[in-house]
């Protein structure tokens, strides 16, 4: 039962990460998908790099390798945090561009 619960929470974390990373343009699905793909290519290296640093520190402090699901949880947690701030910046930048002449 514990393994199933861990898998479900991992899938939910991944879904929240994808939801936070999605760049939505109302009525323009193709532009939304293109902007989301472009955003993944720009933002993913920062998240991967931060994950590698944190995992390296945790492995140095601990007794060996972390399990892959623990590393994935760290990546998704950092990704959700980064995507929240990237999304906030994106929303404010597009809103100001629409308001200001």
pLDDT on residue 77: 92
pTM of the model: 0.80
In this prediction, residue 86 carries a pLDDT of 84
| H/E run at residue 42 | helix 29-61
DSSP letter for each residue of 5-41: HHHHHHHHHHHHHHHHH----TT-HHHHHHHHHHHHH
Calculate Rg over the CA atoms of the chain. 17
Q: Contact 82/16 with Cβ under 8 angstroms?
A: no
pLDDT < 50 positions in the chain: none
Write out pLDDT tens, residues 47-62: 999 999 999 999 999 8
**Residue boundaries of the structural domains of the chain:** 2-99
pLDDT of residue 99: 61
């Amino acid at each position: 039962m514990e393994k199933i619960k861990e898998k479900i929470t991992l899938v939910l974390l991944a879904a929240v990460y994808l939801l936070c990373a999605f760049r939505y343009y109302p009525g323009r699905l193709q532009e939304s998908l293109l902007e989301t793909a472009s955003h993944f290519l720009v933002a993913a290296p920062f998240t991967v790099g931060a994950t590698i640093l944190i995992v390296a520190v945790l492995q140095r402090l601990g007794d060996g390798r972390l399990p892959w699901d623990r590393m994935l949880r760290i990546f998704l947690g950092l990704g959700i945090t980064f995507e929240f701030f990237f999304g906030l910046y994106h929303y404010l930048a597009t809103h100001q561009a629409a308001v200001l002449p």
